[in-house]
Amino acid sequence: MKLSERKEKILASIVEYYIATGEPVGSKTLLEHSDLSVSSATVRNEMAELAIMGFIEQPHTSAGRVPSQLGYRYYVDHLMNQYELPLQEKRLIEARILGASGEPQQILEQAGQVLAEITNCAVVSTTPCDEHAVIRRVELVPIGTRTAMMIMLSSSGILKSKVCRTDCELSLDLIEMFYNVVSQHFIGKSAEEVSIAMIQTLAMSLGSRSLAMSPLLITLSDLAQMTEQTQLLLEGQSNLLNYTDYPNAYELMEFLRQSEPITSLFSSRKKVGVPNILIGKENQFRELQDSSLIFSNYNVSGKESGTLGLIGPTRIDYARLIPSLKYLTELVGNLMSDVLED
């Protein structure tokens, strides 16, 4: 449905006023805070028609009007002028993100903290996921005579670690044998190929060293499985408590702590090269239906790897938040790609 130019201008003014103030707006207030060159009666008539068409709502009998979900959607799709992120702001964001270590999860955590600060929203992200990721490196760091920290790096940038305890001493001969087995049977293999059956077959082939090597190989299998799993990260959820738009903010925050619904939503709604914007009841989960969810996928070495998104009330400042999200998504992908190339 295409609105007239005047209706579009009035709708944009209503949306932007409500985003800025959180207060319903009437015709008189709208004229005072916009450059509309029409009479108050004309504005009232147009607002009445916009209400009939479902673009604005009247929350209370004596109140002004607020945008409806349809109004927000029309504004985002047709009327919004996206804010250009200033170069100085980009440099400040870069400085904060570059302070993180090269480990993908820490890069995402830092990006989430920065995005939560500049948007006053909750930020959700997923660690890199690549079904075809291969094992790039395995390190064994002894921390005791029978205990070691095992670290695995995959081609998707995922770094996982786990403590391993053995039944015999971690001698130099045993450690050297472990690295030989890793080099021959694991480096370059996809994580999904590393199964318990594979580990058992390999252990049996080691003869007398099978018993000593089994704990190390089982830990290696556990790390491969952990590498395949996408992890959901959450930052800035306390920001949601600052909004009066939520009848039950604690219920929403409890929902956000559940990994599966958000990750399934991310995977089911993908657009290439542009942010996904779900407004109100466009979100399939009841807990998100007073919110807007904006998310974008980041690429690592040219492959789609994970997602970075933000959650806030439906009256969030879309024009300013979307450019910040896009810039951070690109920055995260570039940083992770650089890490893998080193």
Q: Supply the CATH number for residue 32's domain.
A: 1.10.10.10
173 plus 243 within the same structural domain: no
Structure tokens belonging to residue 335? 């940083």
pLDDT at 300: 81
Q: Report the 10 Å Cβ neighbour count for 101.
A: 12
- Alpha carbons within 13 angstroms on the beta-carbon side of residue 87 total 0
- Kindly report the CA angle at 220 between 158 and 130, in degrees rounded to 5? 30
Start-to-end Cα distance in the chain: 51
**3-state SS class at 333:** helix
The pLDDT tens digits for 286-311 are 999 999 999 999 988 777 788 999 99
149 plus 218 within the same structural domain: yes
The enclosing domain of 147 has a CATH number of: 3.30.390.60
The pLDDT tens digits for 15-49 are 999 999 989 999 888 888 888 888 889 999 999 99
239 plus 335 within the same structural domain: yes
105 plus 202 within the same structural domain: no
183 plus 250 within the same structural domain: no
Q: Which are the contacts of 162, defined by CB distance < 8 A and separation ≥ 6?
A: 149, 150, 219, 222, 223, 226
211 plus 302 within the same structural domain: no
- The residue behind tokens 């009479």 is 39
177 plus 322 within the same structural domain: no
**3-state SS class at 225:** helix
Alpha-carbon distance of 78 to 55, in angstroms, equals 13
114 plus 237 within the same structural domain: yes
Q: Which residues of the chain have pLDDT under 50?
A: none
> Of the residues 228, 250, 265, which one is the last residue of a structural domain?
228
67 plus 50 within the same structural domain: yes
Structure tokens belonging to residue 91? 């440099």
> Of the residues 185, 213, 228, which one is the last residue of a structural domain?
228
pLDDT at 210: 84
Taking CA atoms, 283 is separated from 1, 20, 94, 175, in Å, by: 22, 23, 31, 51
> Of the residues 187, 206, 228, which one is the last residue of a structural domain?
228
pLDDT at 319: 93
pTM equals: 0.80
The enclosing domain of 308 has a CATH number of: 3.30.450.40
Question: For 58, which DSSP code?
Answer: -
pLDDT at 270: 64
pLDDT at 101: 62
147 plus 121 within the same structural domain: no
220 plus 143 within the same structural domain: yes
If you write DSSP's letter for every residue of 176-196 in order, what string do you get? Answer: HHHHHHHHHHTTTSBGGG--H
Burial class (CB in 10 A: 0-12, 13-18, 19+), 184: exposed
Burial class (CB in 10 A: 0-12, 13-18, 19+), 87: exposed
Can you give the residue range of the structural domain that contains 207?
135-228
> Based on the structure, what is the number of domains in the chain?
3
Which stretches of the chain are assigned E, i.e. beta strand? 56-57, 66-67, 122-126, 135-142, 147-154, 159-165, 232-235, 276-279, 291-300, 303-313
149 plus 222 within the same structural domain: yes
Structure tokens belonging to residue 242? 């600052």
Alpha-carbon distance of 66 to 11, in angstroms, equals 10
Alpha-carbon distance of 25 to 50, in angstroms, equals 13
Pairing of strands 303-313, 291-300: antiparallel
